[in-house]
Structure 1
Amino acid sequence: MKMKPEKNQVTWAFTIFVLAVALMLTYYVIFDGKTLARSIGGIIDSLSGIIIGIAIAFVLLPLLEGIEEKILYPLFKVIGKETSEYGKKDKKRRAKIRKIAVLLTMIIFILIVYSLFRIIIPQLVDSIKEIATNLPIYVKNVDEYSNLFLSNNPDLQKIIDSQLDAYYENLSEFLTKKLLPMLPNVNTIVKVASKSVFSIVGVIINLVVGIIVAIYVLNSKEKFTTVGKKMAYSFFRESFANELIGGFRFTKTTFENFIGGKIIDSLIIGVICYIGALLLKIDYPVLISVIVGVTNIIPFFGPYIGGIAGALLLVLIDPVEALIFLIFVIVLQQFDGNILGPMILGSSTGLSSFWVIFSITLFGGLWGIIGWLIGVPIFAVFYAFVGWITNILLEKKNLSTNTEDYYDLAYIEDKQYKPLSDKGNVKFNASKEADTFKKIFNVDGIKEAARQKKVAKADKSPEQAKDDKSDKT
């Protein structure tokens, strides 16, 4: 006789297993965090190729779907081969369309990467080398400008000269000792190749594995979602499985819209910055545009970082040119923040400005640059999850889930909403105390005395008022 476990037993077993794993992880985090961190780091290193591939696939997913929906499906419809997205009869045709879409997506991706390494990076290298070579001349120019404008203020000039010397020393050391040795040339390539053969081979292998994994994920993305939905309905009850699948869809949409939209937005801003730099005849337009475009990916703080970095570079060449660049970047960022960004991103996170700043600060402190990039969508998912749990708990208590209903709320008593606007609701410190200004100047007391005087005057008879007037006289 076969023993077949019931669905509830499987669910409880899975829940107990997850709880046990969570308790073990909590124990190791508290008492042996370094060992756990090393173990997780080793796992991540061993799976780095797969992680890179999933990341590439995730970034390219909007491009793949755009090629399918906007180009290939309409094209097949024109030639008389209309294909249903979910029809089983069209499975082979959809598989063919998917292979063509994956091929076109990877060709576009490889062309972009090739253009980056073939066109942009050499110009960046040349610009950095030229800046390092001409750095003494640039510093001399800034010194002459400061002497010209601050000749009547020697104390301020002395402070600026000292700061300029420190800035020059730090920048010169960074360029000559750290950045230039990293730039590619024959000698450095040979040295790096001879010293770090295994590292280079490992990077190449990870990239190759990543591209292969990306192709597989893009080609079979429906298989992963299908298996995931199947497992959700097998382990959990129907209502919870629906909520779980909906949560994964929300997470995917949030990350896809934010990260994909931010990359497109930053690419457009970089191109516009390059065109503007050419028209304004700003030095090093490629380097400046790359700085502005890359830093623009960072929400909120990115535009300021890019603008300040570009201005600090240009101020060495020509302070007037740096000022023109700053004005141009401010105008460009106003266009991005008010027109281009909302058009591309929309309300992709649903977070207010405060929570955006909070998430960038928190995850940037935890994970550095990666935290700046993905902190906002991660916090947006967490924020939505907390809101979902809150609404479930409120519904169980038969309370309103509408946030606006709590704006004028003083407290709830016997499930009755007591508003703050009703002065009779004074429980739980609901009555508002007089502010400090009113306490100091006793505004309420003055108003009350004037009111009582007015009432007393109104209550007097004409004869009493006449007698009071004669007494004053």
Structure 2
Amino acid sequence: MKIRWDKQYLKYSLYASFAVILPILFFQVLDNIGSLLANISGSFSWIRRVLSPFIMGGFIAYILNPGVRWFEKKLYREVTYINERKKLHRFLSIITVYAILLGLITMLLIFVVPQIANNIREIIQRLPEYDRSTRKWIANWENDMGLNNLYNIAEYIEKNSRDIFDIASQVLEYLLNNIVSSIMTVTSGILNFLLAMIISFYMLSDKEAFKVGSEKFLRAVMKDETVDRARDFGREADELFGKFIIGKSLDSFIIGVLCFIGLNIMGIRYSLLLSSIIGITNMIPYFGPFIGGVPAVIITFFDSPIKAFWVTLFVLALQQFDGLFLGPKILGDSVGLRPFWIVFAIVVGGKLAGVLGMFLGVPIFAIIRLVVLRLIDQQLERKKEKKLNNTL
């Protein structure tokens, strides 16, 4: 007897089977998602450890590449003896940039880091004094305002101020311990750093070869039109990201130096530490100078409220100078984002990745914007071509 298959019945049976099997699989994945994520995280962690010298080397090469390019084009190629010898100007450019980098790191470790550590240590020792001054100020304020025992306001403020000083002490001790331990255990990471420097040297020396090889591979597996678009996008993204990171770093360094000079002229204690905080936080657009200015004003206030007032005015003036003159001169319109989207990128980046997200949120969002604009342009071109074909 020959079996006759009803195709319609078979189709509905398959649909019903999928309707039962897929939810079961979905719930099984949810039940085991913790172990799955742990395994994936462990695999990525292992890969990251193995490739860390290459990742670090690529990052160093990317950061140093503009400097190498400048020395190569603006300095060494102008010297006839060097320009006549192929690759010599590239080698000398890389060596010059490396010498500058190592000199800056050496100066940082010898002169800046120990003084910042001493400033943090001194602030930790003075925290009980700051706490007593705060309690005394609260008590005087309570008596002057006649708020004795009114809703226990003073007691509430005093309790919270004590918690704030305890947290500040823990944070500062953590920073101090990390600075000291980083200096004491620098030899543990010296091998990775040396490997990264060597890898970055070869990356910078053979960057054209890497570029040509990557393009050949892409053309072998993708359409030429797609590769051309990817190359143009990569060039724009590199210019956008590199210009922002390097330009903003230079801008923040100048602001930190100007802040250090200004605080020293005003006779502010811990001027190096405070100017370093302001310089680093200046990497965050808009909010950075104010975030860095808050600890400077608070710490100075305990020494002298008058000086704290002048520090507030100085930080505001410095922020205006950076926003109206220095920043536009160095960066220009490097990211092409409106203020609303810059604030959006900072807030979202901070929520997703903390301080690092606030630093990198703007350039990453600008690159995402670039991708979206390219996709919109392509879609509009397709619609235009389709419309023309229909009219013909």
Percent sequence identity is 30
Seen in structure 2, the aligned counterparts of structure 1 residues 183 and 243 have a Cα distance that, compared at 3 Å, is closer
Residues 262 and 94 of structure 1: is their aligned pair in 2 closer, same or farther, counting only changes over 3 Å? farther
The SS at the match of 2:375 is helix
- Give the drift of 1:142: 4.2
Q: Whole-Å Cα distance in 2 between the matches of residues 169 and 318 of structure 1?
A: 22
- Deviation for aligned residue 1:338: 1.4
Which residue of 2 is the match for residue 35 of structure 1? 39
Structure-to-structure mapping, 1:117-156, within 5 angstroms: 117-146=109-138, 151-155=143-147
**Partners of 1:151 and 1:157 within 8 A in 2:** no
1: distance between equivalents of 2:244 and 2:338? Answer: 14
CA drift of 1:210 comes to: 1.2
Query: Structure 1 residue 150: deviation in Å?
Result: 5.5
1:35-83 deviation per Cα after TM superposition (whole angstroms, max 9, x unaligned): 222212221122111111111111111211121222212233xx6x7x5
Task: List per-residue Cα deviations over 1:264-308 (Å, max 9, x = no partner).
Answer: 010000000001101111111100110001111123332221111
Question: For 1:434-449, what aligned pairs fall within 5 Å after superposition?
Answer: none
CA RMSD between the two structures: 2.8
- Check if 1:259 corresponds to 2:245: yes
Given the alignment of the two structures, is residue 211 of structure 1 paired with residue 215 of structure 2, yes or no? no
The Cα of 1:148 is off from its aligned counterpart by 5.4
Q: Please say if 1:389 is aligned against 2:386.
A: no
Amino acid at match of 1:35: N
2:96 equivalent in structure 1: 104
The answer to whether the aligner puts 1:328 opposite 2:325 as a matched pair is no
Structure ID, larger Rg: 1
Matches within 5 A, 1:22-421: 32-76=36-80, 83=83, 93-146=85-138, 151-155=143-147, 160-176=157-173, 178-184=174-180, 202-398=188-384
Q: From the superposition, tell whether residues 360 and 175 of structure 1 become closer, same or farther in structure 2 (CA, over 3 Å).
A: closer
Q: State the shift of 1:122 in Å.
A: 0.8
Larger helix proportion, structure 1 or 2?
Answer: 2
CA distance in 2, matches of 1:369, 1:335: 24
Counterparts of 1:370 and 1:170, CA distance in 2:
22
Task: Judge conservation of contact 1:98–1:219 (CA < 8 Å) in 2.
Answer: yes
Q: Where does the alignment leave 5 or more consecutive residues of structure 2 unmatched?
A: 1-28, 148-152
Cα 1:388–1:174 change in 2 (3 A) is: closer
Q: How does 1:431-470 map to 2 (within 5 A)?
A: none
- Cα 1:338–1:394 change in 2 (3 A) is same
Displacement, 1:260? 0.5
Amino acid aligned to 1:379:
F
AA at the equivalent of 2:114 = P
Query: Structure 1 counterpart of 2:302, which letter?
Result: L
- 1:160 Cα deviation after fit: 4.3
1:201 CA drift (Å): 5.4
What are the superposed Cα offsets for residues 372-419 of structure 1, whole Å, 9 maximum, x if unpaired?
A: 2222222211111111111111111118xxxxxxxxxxxxxx99xxxx
With normalisation by structure 1, the TM-score equals: 0.68
Consecutive unaligned residues in structure 1, runs of 5 or more: 1-27, 84-89, 194-199, 400-413, 416-473
Equivalent position SS for 1:103? helix
Shift of 1:211: 1.1
Measure the CA separation in 2 of the matches of 1:376 and 1:172.
32
Structure 2 residue matching 1:152: 3-state secondary structure: helix
- Distance in structure 2 (CA, Å) of the matches to 1:189 and 1:63: 28
Q: How many residues align?
A: 352
- 8 Å CA contact 1:142, 1:319 repeated in 2: no
Q: Which amino acid aligns with 1:121?
A: V
SS in 2 for 1:368: helix
Give how far 1:250 is off.
1.1
Following superposition, which runs of at least 4 residues in structure 1 exceed 6 angstroms of deviation? Answer: none
In 1, Cα distance between the equivalents of 2:110 and 2:47? 34
Cα contact 1:265–1:341 (8 A) shared by 2: yes
The verdict on how the C-alpha distance between 1:236 and 1:168 changes in structure 2, with shifts beyond 3 A counting, is: closer
Give the Cα–Cα distance (whole angstroms) in 2 for the partners of residues 361 and 306 of structure 1: 17
Using the TM superposition, give the Cα deviation of residue 181 of structure 1 relative to its aligned residue in structure 2, in angstroms.
4.0
CA distance in structure 1 between the partners assigned to 2:115 and 2:97 by the alignment? 26
Shift of 1:146: 4.9
The offset of 1:95, in angstroms, is: 0.4
CA distance in 2, matches of 1:50, 1:301: 34
